[in-house]
Amino acid sequence: MISIFYRQGADILVSQFETEFAHIGKESVLWIDLLAPTGEEKKATEAFLGIEIQSRATAEEIESSSRFSESEAAIFANTNFLSPSGDELSEDPVSFTIVGGILATLRDIPLLSFDLLQRRIQARPASYENGWFIFASIMDQRIDLDADIIELMSKETSLFSKRINQKEDINEDFLLDINQLQENSMTVRQNIVDKQRLITNILKSDRYPDRLEAKLEVLLQDISSLIKHSNFNFERLEYLQNTVIGLINLEQNSIMKIFTLISVLLTPATLIAEFYGMNVKLPFAELPLSWLGLFALMAIVVLATIIIFRKKKLL
């Protein structure tokens, strides 16, 4: 699907047909959004812009250090947008191409930040002079959504902390849940750092409008705050993980201690029983109530062992 945003008078209109390129001048077009485009839509866009748009496969293969590049005709930028996928976060690549003042975006799935911006553009057309301002707004929307993700993870971390304090469901599954949240936290941080690098490279370029510099600087400050918050949350999760491991070890040690004490307590009584169970003549063995005396002796030995252990503070 293709969405062509172009200015007509004071309004910004949108067309979803690549054939409209023949009737729209380049000076009027602000943004060309390609959502899982057909071959015809992609070729028409490339012909209109006069450049080749990177495919998704190419964008995925690009190393993080080479996600931004400039040519004489255009600026190419690639980054990933996060989307919840069950307990995990999926990374969906988005390619940005800026030719003059026209922004072209290529993606394979619907993204909330794009949907919100498309409605905002038509509601406030005066705020978007060209594709550079749309690019900055997309980044702004994405950073806000990343902040929401970090906030949700922070709330989950607080819930885990409460469960630990209440000693509720402290087991291996709980430890795996914390590990998954750590993985998500690292994914978010990596994604935010990628956008920080992207915006920093934009600021190093001399092609963006000077009026946009303050906006980009604010975005960098927001990203720095998110990185700090994400680092704090990850450290907190690491602390909770160590706490859970410690509690599980203590519980296992307590169980082993109980089994050990039971074995030690029964050892003297077992020794007496085995001694008098031998097929030889032993003292008092032939008396009518010898079994009762032996039982009493075993009980006394067990009680004496318990008393000794309590004095040694082993019980």
Q: What are the tens digits of pLDDT across the range 287-314?
A: 666 667 667 777 777 787 777 777 776 6
Whether 41 has a pLDDT exceeding 80, the answer reads yes
Tokens 């553009």, located at residue: 121
- Helix (H) or strand (E) holding 118, with range, is helix 112-123
Among the candidates 208, 232, 249, a domain finishes at 249
Whether 59 and 176 map to the same domain: the answer is yes
Please state which of the ranges 109-118, 161-170, 285-294 shows the lowest mean pLDDT: 285-294
Please report how the helices 131-165 and 112-123 are oriented relative to each other, as an axis angle in degrees rounded to 10: 130
- pLDDT tens column, 81-93: 888 777 778 888 8
Residue 201 and residue 191 share a domain: yes
- pLDDT of 64 higher than 70: no
Return the exposure string of 129-148: e unless at least 16 CB atoms fall within 10 Å of the residue's CB, then b. ebbbbbbbbbbbbbbebbbe
| Residues 229 and 258 both lie in one domain | no
Same domain, 149 and 70: yes
Write out pLDDT tens, residues 189-207. Answer: 888 888 898 889 888 888 8
Domain co-membership, 173 together with 273: no
Say whether both 208 and 289 belong to one domain: no
Higher pLDDT, 268 or 284: 268
Candidate from 37-41, 135-139, 216-220, 260-264 with smallest mean pLDDT: 260-264
Q: Say if residue 185 is in the same domain as residue 54.
A: yes
Residue span of the structural domain in which 268 resides: 250-311
pTM: 0.74
Residues 117, 209 within the same domain? yes
Query: Comparing 96-100, 108-112, 191-195, which segment has the lowest mean pLDDT?
Result: 108-112
Same domain, 58 and 145: yes
Mean pLDDT, the chain, rounded, equals 80
Measured distance CA(135)–CA(73) in Å, rounded: 17
What pLDDT, on a 0 to 100 scale, did the predictor assign at position 218? Answer: 92
Amino acid identity, residue 284? F
18 neighbors 41 (Cβ within 8 angstroms) = yes
Are 227 and 286 found together in one domain? no
Domain count, the chain: 2
Residues 60 and 112 in one domain: yes
Question: pLDDT: is 99 or 307 the higher one?
Answer: 99
Do 63 and 190 lie in one domain? The reply is yes
The CATH number assigned to the domain holding 274 equals 1.20.58
